[in-house]
Amino acid sequence: MHSAAVETGGTGVVVAGWSESGRTETALALMEAGGRFVSDKWTILGEDGTLACFPIGVGVRRWVLPYLPRLRAALPRPARAQLLAAGAAGRITRPLRGPASRGKVLTLAGDAAERAVGLADRAGLRPSELIEAYGHCAGGAPRTSLGLLVLLRTVPGPAVSAREVDGKWAAPRLARTAAFERRRLFELHQRARFAMPEHEQLDMEATIGREQAFLSRVLARVRVIQVDAPFPTDPAALRRRSPCCGGDRFLALGGRRLERRYAFGRRLGLSVVGPRAAIRHYEAEYDGSRAEAPSEPDVRVAFGARLPAASSAVVRGGHKLLGAPRAFGHSLVQGYFVEPMLSLAAVRHGRVLLPAAAIREGDGAVLIMGRSGSGKSSLSARALAEGRAILGDDQVLLDGSGQLWTFPRRLRFYADLRHTAPAAYRRLPLQARFGLAGREAVRRLTRGFVAPPIRVTPAELGGGRVRDPLPLSSVVMISREPGARELETEEINASEAVDLGIELLRAQRAHLERVDDSNWGQLLETAERQEAELLRSALNGRPGSIVRVPERWGAPRALDALSRRLLPGGSARR
């Protein structure tokens, strides 16, 4: 893509537009606000929505530096000297570059001076220099998943405006701007066609058509915002219009209350209403959910206010959230109430929100079930460190036909990650590793009573999420067994797998069983029957096995053995 890209809030933001529309400047403004550099000018986009860096230098214009204080303070000395010299040259040659009606020679000299100053007035930085300037982890630009496209359009006048547009509207424009940047290449192929008509040559319109079709498929799952602005302009104004940093991402409901909506598996809808602190938590957790949310969410959650009226509500309830840190409280509410409620709503759409992991294998996915602490998240971390894609480490959506859908929640890891998944631990940003060390200190001080995890995105471990559904290829149950001496594998039938799935769902919804409502027990029983039917339909005829792990084995040894059995082709110490 002819674009710049950054990662912010765990998701990839692409800034595209025609040349000289402010792509680089907007991306730098996003980095000033905490984003991480991915690429500039050109960005590699995969069919699954993965973004990667195209290793080309970043041109930073002198005029934009007053708007970028962090970059200005950390600018490398050679770049700083070049821009200072360009400023001095601009002042010296200003008379020559002014309106000229003083003859052809002076006019040509003025044009040449204008071009020379324009080239010198832009400092070229290597991607590694830009990453270092913003204090991010060394090791290159991250791979991330595309979640938002900002399409810039240059307009006259000082006003900056933004509106949401359809991905199919943006695709042909992106294909055209990329073709324009390659126009010299296409001209050379036209000449080659004249000289060697018998050889197949690159056709511009055919290339545009292929790229447009590709972009239409990928952008159908991505939010697209068109921003109209003059150029040059303050890039912070463009950033404020970008939904990833505020802008129109939230629907203001009055005062400090905001709303954010999510859709999982294209059907299951969630609405979260509350102050910015609550919204930020769910934004970070579910930022990979980019499909359009349904107009009437299945589950509504409100913090600091009463829920809005809903005529279709099956059950309503409330809970107090007190104490600090508030982020820990939000995690408890999410795990004990929000996601269990989503699991009840999922059956209305013919799907099961199953507490399980799913790892891509070929054209399908392996479903890994097990009780808490069985190693699902560690296996997912090892898979990500090997460059594999996952659909979830603790929650996935499964329909009756056997299709698995991603549940885009951040992964949870504890301090033992360095032992259970060493390669994944090494891939973590330095800040995340410090976070793990701090949490381990808290766990020891409280003797295990408080053991909060860190939360990371798959992209931070070098892998990604699967955006489109995958067929279920096999089912694996992991069980810690006190009587087992070695790793044992035994085939199981669909009925046994269904029973474990229902057991895991009951454990997830244990807190909901305490709700004092006359219809609540009936609702839970009905949902469980429907889930059992969906699981039987999905698992029937698919190979299943149970892997028994000796209970006396420590986590590292158990994970090494499970990796060899379930992640063939990878190193055991993953």
Question: Is residue 119 a part of any domain in this protein?
Answer: no
Say yes or no: 439 and 357 in one domain: yes
Domain-ending residue, one of 338, 359, 380: 338
Q: Is the peptide bond before 158 cis (omega within 30 degrees of 0)?
A: no
The burial of 153, by beta-carbon neighbours within 10 Å (0-12 exposed, 13-18 middle, 19 or more buried), is given as middle
CA atoms within a 13 Å half-sphere pointing along the CA-CB vector of 106: 11
Longest alpha-carbon distance in the chain: 97
Give the strand pairing for 43-45 and 223-229: unpaired
Say yes or no: 503 and 530 in one domain: yes
Residue 131, pLDDT score: 85
Say yes or no: 317 and 203 in one domain: no
Q: How far apart are CA 558 and CA 396, in angstroms?
A: 23
Say yes or no: 321 and 364 in one domain: no
How many DSSP H helices and E strands does the chain contain?
19, 26
Radius of gyration of the CA atoms of the chain, in A? 27
Q: How far apart are CA 17 and CA 43, in angstroms?
A: 13
Domain-ending residue, one of 338, 360, 395: 338
Q: How far apart are CA 212 and CA 214, in angstroms?
A: 5
Question: Is residue 257 a part of any domain in this protein?
Answer: yes
Say yes or no: 221 and 297 in one domain: no
Question: Is residue 346 a part of any domain in this protein?
Answer: no
Say yes or no: 410 and 486 in one domain: yes
Question: Is residue 44 a part of any domain in this protein?
Answer: yes
Question: Is residue 440 a part of any domain in this protein?
Answer: yes
Nearest one of 435, 386, 397 to 415, comparing CA atoms: 435
Q: How far apart are CA 287 and CA 11, in angstroms?
A: 7
42 strand-pairing partners: 2
Say yes or no: 316 and 376 in one domain: no
Say yes or no: 410 and 474 in one domain: yes
Say yes or no: 167 and 198 in one domain: yes
Say yes or no: 323 and 355 in one domain: no
Task: Tell me the residue range of the domain where 178 lies.
Answer: 3-57+126-241
Say yes or no: 301 and 379 in one domain: no
Question: Is residue 79 a part of any domain in this protein?
Answer: no
Say yes or no: 404 and 449 in one domain: yes
| Residue-level pLDDT, tens digit, the chain, 574 residues | 999 999 886 678 999 998 888 899 888 888 888 888 999 999 999 988 899 989 888 888 888 888 888 888 888 888 878 777 766 655 555 555 455 445 554 454 445 444 444 445 677 888 888 888 887 755 566 788 888 899 999 888 788 888 888 888 899 999 999 999 998 998 888 888 888 888 777 788 889 999 999 999 998 888 888 888 888 777 777 666 555 543 333 333 333 456 778 888 878 888 888 777 788 888 888 865 644 444 578 888 887 655 555 545 555 566 555 555 566 778 888 888 899 999 999 998 999 999 999 999 989 999 999 988 889 999 999 999 888 899 999 999 999 999 999 888 888 888 888 889 999 989 888 888 888 888 888 788 877 777 778 888 888 887 777 878 999 999 999 998 888 889 989 998 989 999 999 999 988 888 787 777 767 788 888 999 999 999 999 999 899 999 999 989 999 999 999 998 888 654 444 4
- Counted domains in the chain: 3
Domain-ending residue, one of 338, 366, 387: 338
For position 482, which CATH number holds?
3.40.50
Question: Is residue 120 a part of any domain in this protein?
Answer: no
